[in-house]
Amino acid sequence: MSLPEALERAASRMPEHGDALRDANGDPDRLLATLPTAAAARLLGWLLEHTPDEGSELALSWSESDAGVAAIRALDADGLAKPARKALRRVQHRLRSRGHDVAPAPSEPVVARLPDVDDGFDCALISPLNARGARMVYLVEAHPAGGARLYEGLVDALRGVLEFSVYNSGRSRVREFLREVRTRAHAPPIEVAPEQVRALLARAAARQQATSPLPRAFI
């Protein structure tokens, strides 16, 4: 995945800065010029968490400028998963070797990762349209009783909800499934806000054809 593609994914989680992320087209300096320090730190944390190669690429580039160093300093490593913390430590070590103090700035506390996506839950995926004009949608939520709940559907804008299934499973199995879905060679889905999938499902259900009742699991 390229940095512009990773930024496109992040834009769905930071809608208030979506235009800036897309307009930057992968240019680290343009990101720093348009994003506040806290937002830049939030973006870097998400990239390190979900696209570590692109996150590391961005962090290394930002380490060359004062504004970028400020964003790296504002990132709270305690909020990151272990692989992301490891990638961040490499960048911090590089900065320390050049005489920078990269301890988190106490006057500017920020959340290092985007809400509700730290472990892959409360997320949603949408696949491209297939030859018949339908697409797969996935919605993942934390299960109230523990584990995770996965909703999987095949929807068509004109024909309605064609297929729908609900799965309850452990979080590790759901995380493994999501990794597999995201890395499919053919028509991999993109990550969007869960509200977008819910709205898509609602519109499809409202147009359900009388000859094709809603799937029982959807009801």
134 or 82: whose pLDDT is higher?
134
| pLDDT-based confidence at residue 97 (cuts at 50, 70, 90) | confident
CA distance 102 to 199: 42
Fill in the amino acid letter for 216. Answer: R
Report yes or no on whether pTM surpasses 0.85.
no
Q: In this structure, is the dihedral angle defined by the CA atoms of residues 35, 39, 45 and 49, taken in order, positive or negative?
A: negative
Q: Which pLDDT score, from 0 to 100, does residue 113 have?
A: 47
Give me the percent of the chain exceeding a pLDDT of 70. Answer: 88
Neighbouring C-alpha atoms within 13 Å toward the C-beta of 163: 9
Whether 119 shows a pLDDT value over 80: the answer reads no
pLDDT tens digits, 17-64 = 888 888 888 888 888 888 889 889 889 888 888 888 888 888 888 888
Mean pLDDT, rounded, for 179-204: 88
Whether 139 shows a pLDDT value over 60: the answer reads yes
